[in-house]
A and B are shown apart, each in its own frame.
Chain A
Amino acid sequence: MTKDDPNNEASSESRPTAKKAKGGIDVVEATDDRLVERLRERFGDAIHSAVIMVGQRVVVVAVDSLAEVLTYLKSGDELKFDLLLDVTAVHRPAETPPFELVYQLCSTSTLERVRIKSGIEDGASAQSVTGIWRTANWLERECFDMFGIVFEGHPDLRRILLPEGWEGHPLRKEYPVEFRENRWVADTLNIHALPDDADFSGKVEI
Chain B
Amino acid sequence: MNGAEIIIRSLVDQGVEVIFGYPGGAVLPIYDAIFGQNKLRHILVRHEQGAVHAAEGYARSTGKVGAVLVTSGPGATNAVTGLTDALMDSIPIVCITGQVATHLIGNDAFQEADTTGITRPCTKHNYLVKSADDVARVVHEAFYVARSGRPGPVVIDMPKDVQLAKGDYVGPETVAHRTYQPRIQGEPSAIERAVKLIAGAKRPIFYTGGGVINAGPEASARLIEFARMTGVPVTNTLMGLGAFPGSDPQFVGMLGMHGTYEANKAMHDCDVMVCLGARFDDRITGRLDAFSPNSQKIHVDIDPSSINKNVSVDVPIIGDVGAVLGDMIEIWKRDGLKTDSQALKAWWGTIDEWRSIKCLSYDQDETTIKPQYAIERLYDLTKDRETFITTEVGQHQMWAAQFYKFETPNHWMTSGGLGTMGYGMPAAIGVQLAHPDALVVDIAGEASILMCIQELSTAAQYNLPIKVFVLNNEYMGMVRQWQELLHGGRYSESYSEALPDFVKLAEAFGVKGLRAERPDQVDGLIEEMVNTDGPVLADVRVDKVENCFPMIPSGSAHDDMILGPVDRAKREVTDAGKALV
Whether A and B are associated in the same complex: the answer reads: no
